[in-house]
Structure 1
Amino acid sequence: MPRVAVYNIQGQQVGEIDLDDYVFGGEVNEAVLHQAVVMQLASRRRGTASTRTWAEVSGGGRKPWRQKGTGRARAGSIRSPLWRGGAVIFGPQPRDYGFKLPKKVRRLALRSALASKVREGNIIVLDDLKLERPRTKDMVAVLKALNAGDKALVVTAAREANVELSVRNLPGVDCLIPAGLNVYDLLAHEKLIVTKEAVSRIEEFLAPVEKQPIAGEA
Protein backbone atom coordinates (compact mmCIF):
# COMPACT_ATOMS: atom_id res chain seq x y z
CA MET A 1 0.00 0.00 0.00
CA PRO A 2 1.65 3.29 -1.10
CA ARG A 3 2.24 5.80 1.67
CA VAL A 4 2.88 9.45 0.82
CA ALA A 5 3.42 12.61 2.82
CA VAL A 6 0.68 15.17 3.41
CA TYR A 7 1.55 18.86 3.15
CA ASN A 8 -0.12 22.16 3.87
CA ILE A 9 -0.15 25.03 1.40
CA GLN A 10 3.02 26.43 3.00
CA GLY A 11 4.89 23.30 1.89
CA GLN A 12 5.28 21.89 5.41
CA GLN A 13 4.69 18.18 6.00
CA VAL A 14 1.81 17.69 8.42
CA GLY A 15 1.36 13.93 8.25
CA GLU A 16 1.16 10.88 6.01
CA ILE A 17 -1.59 9.05 4.17
CA ASP A 18 -1.97 5.48 2.93
CA LEU A 19 -3.27 5.34 -0.62
CA ASP A 20 -5.52 2.54 -1.78
CA ASP A 21 -3.35 -0.11 -3.39
CA TYR A 22 -6.02 -1.04 -5.95
CA VAL A 23 -6.34 2.56 -7.20
CA PHE A 24 -2.84 3.99 -6.77
CA GLY A 25 -0.57 0.94 -6.52
CA GLY A 26 -1.37 -1.18 -9.56
CA GLU A 27 0.69 -1.89 -12.65
CA VAL A 28 1.02 0.80 -15.30
CA ASN A 29 -0.59 -0.50 -18.50
CA GLU A 30 0.93 1.64 -21.24
CA ALA A 31 -1.17 0.11 -24.01
CA VAL A 32 -4.40 1.04 -22.23
CA LEU A 33 -3.06 4.53 -21.50
CA HIS A 34 -2.40 4.99 -25.22
CA GLN A 35 -5.92 3.87 -26.12
CA ALA A 36 -7.45 6.29 -23.60
CA VAL A 37 -5.42 9.24 -24.88
CA VAL A 38 -6.30 8.46 -28.50
CA MET A 39 -9.98 8.26 -27.51
CA GLN A 40 -9.89 11.66 -25.81
CA LEU A 41 -8.02 13.37 -28.63
CA ALA A 42 -10.33 11.83 -31.24
CA SER A 43 -13.35 13.18 -29.37
CA ARG A 44 -11.85 16.67 -29.50
CA ARG A 45 -11.53 16.66 -33.30
CA ARG A 46 -14.04 18.99 -34.90
CA GLY A 47 -14.55 16.87 -38.02
CA THR A 48 -15.84 19.82 -40.07
CA ALA A 49 -13.79 19.26 -43.25
CA SER A 50 -16.18 19.13 -46.19
CA THR A 51 -15.90 18.83 -49.98
CA ARG A 52 -18.62 19.07 -52.63
CA THR A 53 -19.69 16.06 -54.61
CA TRP A 54 -21.17 16.08 -58.13
CA ALA A 55 -24.62 16.47 -56.59
CA GLU A 56 -23.56 19.64 -54.79
CA VAL A 57 -21.52 21.62 -57.32
CA SER A 58 -23.38 24.08 -59.51
CA GLY A 59 -23.28 24.24 -63.31
CA GLY A 60 -22.19 21.65 -65.78
CA GLY A 61 -25.64 20.70 -67.00
CA ARG A 62 -24.69 21.06 -70.67
CA LYS A 63 -22.20 18.94 -72.55
CA PRO A 64 -19.26 21.30 -73.32
CA TRP A 65 -18.78 20.04 -76.89
CA ARG A 66 -19.97 17.27 -79.13
CA GLN A 67 -18.76 13.75 -78.52
CA LYS A 68 -16.76 13.30 -81.71
CA GLY A 69 -14.99 15.31 -84.35
CA THR A 70 -13.33 18.05 -82.28
CA GLY A 71 -10.03 16.31 -81.62
CA ARG A 72 -10.45 16.84 -77.93
CA ALA A 73 -11.09 14.31 -75.21
CA ARG A 74 -14.66 13.31 -74.52
CA ALA A 75 -16.31 15.46 -71.86
CA GLY A 76 -19.80 15.38 -70.46
CA SER A 77 -19.64 18.20 -67.90
CA ILE A 78 -17.40 21.10 -66.95
CA ARG A 79 -17.87 20.02 -63.32
CA SER A 80 -16.11 16.69 -63.75
CA PRO A 81 -13.61 15.86 -61.01
CA LEU A 82 -10.92 16.10 -63.72
CA TRP A 83 -11.71 19.77 -64.33
CA ARG A 84 -10.68 22.80 -62.33
CA GLY A 85 -13.63 23.82 -60.16
CA GLY A 86 -15.18 20.40 -60.50
CA ALA A 87 -16.49 18.00 -57.89
CA VAL A 88 -14.34 15.98 -55.49
CA ILE A 89 -14.57 12.20 -55.43
CA PHE A 90 -14.28 10.47 -52.05
CA GLY A 91 -13.31 13.74 -50.37
CA PRO A 92 -13.72 14.38 -46.62
CA GLN A 93 -17.21 14.95 -45.28
CA PRO A 94 -18.32 16.20 -41.84
CA ARG A 95 -18.07 13.35 -39.37
CA ASP A 96 -17.63 12.51 -35.72
CA TYR A 97 -14.22 10.99 -35.02
CA GLY A 98 -15.07 10.08 -31.44
CA PHE A 99 -15.31 6.54 -30.17
CA LYS A 100 -15.77 4.91 -26.79
CA LEU A 101 -13.76 2.38 -24.87
CA PRO A 102 -15.40 -0.13 -22.53
CA LYS A 103 -15.97 1.21 -19.02
CA LYS A 104 -13.55 -1.30 -17.49
CA VAL A 105 -10.82 -0.20 -19.90
CA ARG A 106 -11.39 3.47 -19.12
CA ARG A 107 -11.20 2.83 -15.39
CA LEU A 108 -8.07 0.72 -15.81
CA ALA A 109 -6.45 3.54 -17.79
CA LEU A 110 -7.29 6.04 -15.05
CA ARG A 111 -5.83 3.78 -12.36
CA SER A 112 -2.72 3.25 -14.48
CA ALA A 113 -2.25 7.02 -14.85
CA LEU A 114 -2.61 7.53 -11.09
CA ALA A 115 -0.22 4.66 -10.36
CA SER A 116 2.36 6.20 -12.69
CA LYS A 117 2.22 9.45 -10.70
CA VAL A 118 2.80 7.58 -7.43
CA ARG A 119 5.58 5.46 -8.90
CA GLU A 120 7.39 8.53 -10.28
CA GLY A 121 6.95 10.50 -7.04
CA ASN A 122 4.90 13.15 -8.81
CA ILE A 123 1.88 13.16 -6.50
CA ILE A 124 1.50 15.81 -3.80
CA VAL A 125 -1.27 15.39 -1.22
CA LEU A 126 -2.53 18.48 0.61
CA ASP A 127 -4.46 18.53 3.86
CA ASP A 128 -6.67 21.23 2.32
CA LEU A 129 -6.55 23.86 -0.40
CA LYS A 130 -8.52 27.03 0.11
CA LEU A 131 -7.64 30.58 -0.89
CA GLU A 132 -9.11 33.68 0.71
CA ARG A 133 -9.42 35.45 -2.64
CA PRO A 134 -8.91 34.72 -6.32
CA ARG A 135 -5.34 35.80 -6.89
CA THR A 136 -2.84 34.24 -9.28
CA LYS A 137 0.09 35.41 -7.16
CA ASP A 138 -1.19 33.41 -4.18
CA MET A 139 -1.49 30.25 -6.27
CA VAL A 140 2.03 30.74 -7.62
CA ALA A 141 3.27 30.96 -4.03
CA VAL A 142 1.55 27.66 -3.18
CA LEU A 143 3.06 25.91 -6.20
CA LYS A 144 6.50 27.27 -5.33
CA ALA A 145 6.22 26.11 -1.72
CA LEU A 146 5.31 22.61 -2.94
CA ASN A 147 8.07 22.54 -5.60
CA ALA A 148 5.37 21.68 -8.12
CA GLY A 149 7.01 23.36 -11.09
CA ASP A 150 5.00 25.04 -13.82
CA LYS A 151 3.02 22.01 -15.09
CA ALA A 152 0.66 20.81 -12.40
CA LEU A 153 -2.86 19.42 -12.20
CA VAL A 154 -4.77 20.51 -9.09
CA VAL A 155 -7.63 18.27 -7.94
CA THR A 156 -10.01 19.44 -5.21
CA ALA A 157 -12.91 17.46 -3.72
CA ALA A 158 -15.44 20.12 -4.80
CA ARG A 159 -15.30 23.19 -6.97
CA GLU A 160 -13.31 25.97 -5.33
CA ALA A 161 -14.03 29.21 -7.16
CA ASN A 162 -11.01 31.05 -5.75
CA VAL A 163 -8.66 28.23 -6.72
CA GLU A 164 -10.11 27.91 -10.22
CA LEU A 165 -9.83 31.65 -10.86
CA SER A 166 -6.30 31.77 -9.44
CA VAL A 167 -5.20 28.92 -11.71
CA ARG A 168 -6.83 30.27 -14.84
CA ASN A 169 -3.98 32.60 -15.80
CA LEU A 170 -1.27 29.96 -15.33
CA PRO A 171 -0.71 28.33 -18.75
CA GLY A 172 0.66 25.02 -17.44
CA VAL A 173 -1.70 24.56 -14.50
CA ASP A 174 -5.28 23.24 -14.51
CA CYS A 175 -7.86 22.58 -11.82
CA LEU A 176 -10.34 19.67 -11.77
CA ILE A 177 -12.68 17.86 -9.43
CA PRO A 178 -12.58 14.03 -9.09
CA ALA A 179 -15.55 13.61 -11.46
CA GLY A 180 -13.59 15.37 -14.22
CA LEU A 181 -10.33 13.48 -13.71
CA ASN A 182 -9.07 12.03 -16.99
CA VAL A 183 -6.05 10.24 -18.40
CA TYR A 184 -4.96 12.94 -20.84
CA ASP A 185 -4.73 15.68 -18.20
CA LEU A 186 -2.95 13.36 -15.78
CA LEU A 187 -0.28 12.54 -18.35
CA ALA A 188 -0.03 16.08 -19.74
CA HIS A 189 0.89 17.54 -16.33
CA GLU A 190 4.05 16.56 -14.51
CA LYS A 191 2.76 16.98 -10.95
CA LEU A 192 -0.57 15.92 -9.48
CA ILE A 193 -1.65 18.04 -6.52
CA VAL A 194 -4.66 16.51 -4.76
CA THR A 195 -6.36 17.20 -1.45
CA LYS A 196 -6.97 14.45 1.13
CA GLU A 197 -10.72 14.69 0.63
CA ALA A 198 -10.29 14.41 -3.14
CA VAL A 199 -8.16 11.28 -2.64
CA SER A 200 -11.07 9.69 -0.76
CA ARG A 201 -13.47 10.62 -3.57
CA ILE A 202 -11.14 9.16 -6.21
CA GLU A 203 -10.69 5.93 -4.24
CA GLU A 204 -14.45 5.62 -3.81
CA PHE A 205 -15.08 6.19 -7.51
CA LEU A 206 -12.41 3.76 -8.73
CA ALA A 207 -12.93 1.08 -6.09
CA PRO A 208 -13.81 -2.45 -7.24
CA VAL A 209 -17.47 -2.77 -8.19
CA GLU A 210 -18.28 -5.01 -5.22
CA LYS A 211 -16.97 -2.31 -2.83
CA GLN A 212 -18.84 0.61 -4.37
CA PRO A 213 -21.88 1.91 -2.43
CA ILE A 214 -25.28 1.02 -3.82
CA ALA A 215 -27.32 3.94 -5.10
CA GLY A 216 -29.71 5.18 -2.42
CA GLU A 217 -27.69 3.81 0.48
CA ALA A 218 -25.94 6.14 2.89
Structure 2
Amino acid sequence: MENHRRRTQVTTSDDEDEQEKEEVLKRSRPVEDAKPIGEPLKYSGKGKSKKWHYDSFEFNGIQYTIGDHVLFKPEEKGQKPYAGIIKDITQGNNGNVVVTGQWFYRPEEAEKKGGGNWKSCDSRELFYSFHCDDVHAEAVMHKCVVHFVPQNKQLPKRKDHPGFIVQKVYDNVEKKLWRLGDKDYEDIKQQEIDVLVEKTLQRIGELIDIEPDEALDDGEDQMKNKKKLKEKKCFTS
Protein backbone atom coordinates (compact mmCIF):
# COMPACT_ATOMS: atom_id res chain seq x y z
CA MET A 1 0.00 0.00 0.00
CA GLU A 2 1.56 3.26 -1.06
CA ASN A 3 1.65 6.18 1.35
CA HIS A 4 -0.69 8.12 -0.95
CA ARG A 5 -3.86 6.11 -1.41
CA ARG A 6 -5.43 7.61 -4.50
CA ARG A 7 -4.67 9.49 -7.67
CA THR A 8 -7.42 12.04 -6.89
CA GLN A 9 -5.64 13.47 -3.85
CA VAL A 10 -4.62 17.12 -3.89
CA THR A 11 -0.99 17.71 -4.80
CA THR A 12 1.38 20.61 -5.35
CA SER A 13 3.86 18.56 -7.36
CA ASP A 14 5.05 19.94 -10.70
CA ASP A 15 5.41 16.44 -12.06
CA GLU A 16 3.62 16.13 -15.42
CA ASP A 17 1.88 12.92 -14.39
CA GLU A 18 0.49 14.57 -11.29
CA GLN A 19 -0.75 17.53 -13.32
CA GLU A 20 -2.48 15.16 -15.72
CA LYS A 21 -4.18 13.38 -12.81
CA GLU A 22 -5.39 16.72 -11.47
CA GLU A 23 -6.91 17.55 -14.86
CA VAL A 24 -8.73 14.21 -14.88
CA LEU A 25 -10.15 15.04 -11.46
CA LYS A 26 -11.37 18.46 -12.60
CA ARG A 27 -13.17 16.99 -15.61
CA SER A 28 -14.87 14.35 -13.44
CA ARG A 29 -16.28 16.76 -10.87
CA PRO A 30 -20.06 17.15 -10.55
CA VAL A 31 -21.77 20.40 -11.54
CA GLU A 32 -22.36 21.29 -7.91
CA ASP A 33 -19.25 22.13 -5.89
CA ALA A 34 -18.78 21.76 -2.16
CA LYS A 35 -19.15 24.99 -0.19
CA PRO A 36 -17.75 25.88 3.24
CA ILE A 37 -20.23 26.78 5.99
CA GLY A 38 -19.89 29.74 8.30
CA GLU A 39 -16.88 31.90 9.01
CA PRO A 40 -13.35 30.45 8.79
CA LEU A 41 -11.78 29.29 12.03
CA LYS A 42 -8.33 30.44 10.94
CA TYR A 43 -6.10 30.73 7.89
CA SER A 44 -2.67 29.39 7.01
CA GLY A 45 -0.09 30.04 4.31
CA LYS A 46 0.57 33.22 2.36
CA GLY A 47 -0.06 34.55 -1.13
CA LYS A 48 -1.26 31.94 -3.59
CA SER A 49 -0.78 29.24 -0.95
CA LYS A 50 -3.09 30.91 1.56
CA LYS A 51 -6.05 28.83 2.65
CA TRP A 52 -8.91 29.23 5.10
CA HIS A 53 -9.87 26.51 7.58
CA TYR A 54 -13.52 25.73 8.34
CA ASP A 55 -15.44 23.52 10.74
CA SER A 56 -18.04 22.34 8.18
CA PHE A 57 -18.91 22.23 4.49
CA GLU A 58 -22.00 21.37 2.43
CA PHE A 59 -22.12 19.10 -0.59
CA ASN A 60 -25.20 17.79 -2.39
CA GLY A 61 -27.41 19.17 0.37
CA ILE A 62 -25.56 17.35 3.17
CA GLN A 63 -23.51 19.06 5.88
CA TYR A 64 -20.19 17.50 6.87
CA THR A 65 -18.19 18.48 9.94
CA ILE A 66 -14.69 17.82 11.24
CA GLY A 67 -14.73 14.48 13.02
CA ASP A 68 -17.38 12.90 10.77
CA HIS A 69 -16.75 9.35 9.56
CA VAL A 70 -17.37 9.23 5.82
CA LEU A 71 -16.93 7.13 2.70
CA PHE A 72 -14.94 8.52 -0.23
CA LYS A 73 -15.29 7.64 -3.90
CA PRO A 74 -12.86 4.88 -4.88
CA GLU A 75 -10.09 5.48 -7.36
CA GLU A 76 -11.15 2.79 -9.82
CA LYS A 77 -14.50 1.42 -10.90
CA GLY A 78 -15.34 -1.75 -9.01
CA GLN A 79 -13.29 -0.83 -5.95
CA LYS A 80 -14.89 -0.50 -2.55
CA PRO A 81 -15.20 3.08 -1.21
CA TYR A 82 -12.44 4.42 1.00
CA ALA A 83 -13.40 5.10 4.62
CA GLY A 84 -11.94 7.94 6.66
CA ILE A 85 -12.40 10.63 9.27
CA ILE A 86 -12.58 14.29 8.26
CA LYS A 87 -9.72 15.98 10.12
CA ASP A 88 -9.61 19.39 8.41
CA ILE A 89 -11.62 21.43 5.89
CA THR A 90 -9.94 24.17 3.86
CA GLN A 91 -10.61 26.47 0.93
CA GLY A 92 -7.86 28.01 -1.17
CA ASN A 93 -7.74 31.10 -3.36
CA ASN A 94 -9.08 29.02 -6.26
CA GLY A 95 -12.31 28.40 -4.32
CA ASN A 96 -11.87 24.63 -4.13
CA VAL A 97 -12.86 22.99 -0.84
CA VAL A 98 -10.42 20.35 0.35
CA VAL A 99 -10.73 17.89 3.21
CA THR A 100 -7.95 16.12 5.08
CA GLY A 101 -8.98 12.49 5.45
CA GLN A 102 -7.47 10.20 8.08
CA TRP A 103 -7.80 6.73 6.59
CA PHE A 104 -9.19 3.42 7.65
CA TYR A 105 -7.82 0.35 5.86
CA ARG A 106 -9.78 -2.73 4.91
CA PRO A 107 -7.83 -5.88 5.94
CA GLU A 108 -7.33 -6.87 2.30
CA GLU A 109 -5.77 -3.44 1.62
CA ALA A 110 -3.31 -3.60 4.52
CA GLU A 111 0.00 -5.17 3.55
CA LYS A 112 2.15 -7.15 5.97
CA LYS A 113 5.83 -6.31 6.33
CA GLY A 114 6.78 -9.82 5.21
CA GLY A 115 4.31 -9.87 2.33
CA GLY A 116 0.66 -10.75 1.97
CA ASN A 117 -2.31 -9.11 3.66
CA TRP A 118 -3.98 -9.31 7.03
CA LYS A 119 -6.92 -11.57 7.78
CA SER A 120 -10.30 -10.19 8.75
CA CYS A 121 -12.06 -11.41 11.88
CA ASP A 122 -15.37 -9.89 10.77
CA SER A 123 -16.80 -8.69 7.45
CA ARG A 124 -17.38 -5.29 9.08
CA GLU A 125 -13.76 -4.87 10.15
CA LEU A 126 -11.60 -1.85 9.32
CA PHE A 127 -8.14 -0.98 10.62
CA TYR A 128 -7.55 2.50 12.04
CA SER A 129 -4.45 4.38 10.89
CA PHE A 130 -2.73 7.72 11.39
CA HIS A 131 -2.21 8.12 7.63
CA CYS A 132 -3.75 11.28 6.16
CA ASP A 133 -4.19 12.74 2.67
CA ASP A 134 -5.81 15.89 1.30
CA VAL A 135 -8.59 15.24 -1.24
CA HIS A 136 -11.25 17.36 -2.89
CA ALA A 137 -14.45 17.58 -0.83
CA GLU A 138 -16.44 16.36 -3.84
CA ALA A 139 -14.89 12.91 -3.30
CA VAL A 140 -17.07 12.47 -0.20
CA MET A 141 -19.95 10.05 -0.85
CA HIS A 142 -21.83 10.00 2.46
CA LYS A 143 -21.41 9.57 6.21
CA CYS A 144 -20.89 6.17 7.81
CA VAL A 145 -20.78 4.68 11.31
CA VAL A 146 -17.59 3.21 12.78
CA HIS A 147 -17.56 1.45 16.16
CA PHE A 148 -14.25 1.36 18.07
CA VAL A 149 -14.33 -1.80 20.20
CA PRO A 150 -11.47 -3.01 22.45
CA GLN A 151 -10.65 -6.69 21.95
CA ASN A 152 -11.70 -7.53 25.49
CA LYS A 153 -15.26 -6.47 24.61
CA GLN A 154 -17.92 -8.39 22.72
CA LEU A 155 -18.71 -6.98 19.28
CA PRO A 156 -22.08 -5.21 19.02
CA LYS A 157 -24.75 -7.10 17.13
CA ARG A 158 -24.96 -6.08 13.50
CA LYS A 159 -28.76 -5.92 13.63
CA ASP A 160 -28.81 -3.54 16.61
CA HIS A 161 -25.77 -1.44 15.68
CA PRO A 162 -24.98 -1.52 11.94
CA GLY A 163 -21.69 -0.05 10.83
CA PHE A 164 -17.99 -0.83 10.61
CA ILE A 165 -15.91 -2.28 13.45
CA VAL A 166 -12.37 -1.17 14.45
CA GLN A 167 -10.29 -3.19 16.92
CA LYS A 168 -6.79 -2.72 15.52
CA VAL A 169 -4.47 0.07 14.37
CA TYR A 170 -2.49 -0.35 11.15
CA ASP A 171 0.95 1.21 10.77
CA ASN A 172 1.08 1.77 7.00
CA VAL A 173 4.81 2.58 7.07
CA GLU A 174 6.09 -0.33 9.18
CA LYS A 175 3.21 -2.49 7.88
CA LYS A 176 2.39 -3.76 11.35
CA LEU A 177 -0.81 -4.20 13.29
CA TRP A 178 -1.57 -3.13 16.85
CA ARG A 179 -4.54 -3.54 19.16
CA LEU A 180 -6.51 -0.49 20.29
CA GLY A 181 -5.54 -1.12 23.89
CA ASP A 182 -1.81 -1.73 23.40
CA LYS A 183 -1.08 1.84 24.56
CA ASP A 184 2.25 1.82 22.72
CA TYR A 185 1.61 5.06 20.83
CA GLU A 186 2.59 8.61 21.63
CA ASP A 187 0.31 10.00 24.34
CA ILE A 188 -1.58 12.27 21.97
CA LYS A 189 -2.32 9.36 19.62
CA GLN A 190 -3.45 7.11 22.45
CA GLN A 191 -5.73 9.88 23.71
CA GLU A 192 -7.23 10.11 20.23
CA ILE A 193 -7.99 6.38 20.26
CA ASP A 194 -9.37 6.47 23.82
CA VAL A 195 -11.79 9.27 22.84
CA LEU A 196 -13.07 7.25 19.86
CA VAL A 197 -13.60 4.17 22.04
CA GLU A 198 -15.44 6.25 24.66
CA LYS A 199 -17.70 7.80 22.01
CA THR A 200 -18.58 4.30 20.80
CA LEU A 201 -19.50 3.13 24.29
CA GLN A 202 -21.59 6.25 24.85
CA ARG A 203 -23.43 5.61 21.59
CA ILE A 204 -24.15 1.87 21.95
CA GLY A 205 -23.82 1.30 25.70
CA GLU A 206 -21.51 -0.96 27.70
CA LEU A 207 -20.34 -4.17 26.03
CA ILE A 208 -19.81 -7.57 27.64
CA ASP A 209 -16.24 -8.41 28.68
CA ILE A 210 -14.60 -11.38 26.95
CA GLU A 211 -11.17 -13.00 27.07
CA PRO A 212 -9.04 -11.53 24.25
CA ASP A 213 -6.92 -13.81 22.08
CA GLU A 214 -3.26 -13.99 22.99
CA ALA A 215 -2.00 -13.41 19.44
CA LEU A 216 -2.90 -11.35 16.40
CA ASP A 217 -4.93 -12.94 13.65
CA ASP A 218 -1.91 -14.04 11.63
CA GLY A 219 -0.34 -15.79 14.64
CA GLU A 220 2.45 -13.25 15.03
CA ASP A 221 3.82 -12.98 18.56
CA GLN A 222 2.73 -9.49 19.44
CA MET A 223 4.96 -9.20 22.50
CA LYS A 224 8.09 -9.55 20.35
CA ASN A 225 7.05 -6.55 18.29
CA LYS A 226 6.12 -4.16 21.09
CA LYS A 227 7.50 -0.71 20.43
CA LYS A 228 6.17 2.79 20.13
CA LEU A 229 4.90 3.94 16.79
CA LYS A 230 7.03 6.74 15.44
CA GLU A 231 5.39 10.12 14.99
CA LYS A 232 4.09 10.33 11.45
CA LYS A 233 3.05 13.56 9.83
CA CYS A 234 -0.09 13.65 7.75
CA PHE A 235 0.55 13.90 4.00
CA THR A 236 -0.81 17.26 2.97
CA SER A 237 -0.57 19.49 -0.02
TM-score range, shorter chain: under 0.3
Query: How high is the TM-score relative to the length of structure 2?
Result: 0.20
Query: How high is the TM-score relative to the length of structure 1?
Result: 0.21
RCO comparison, higher one (Cα < 8 Å, 6+):
1
Larger Rg: 1
More helix by share: 1
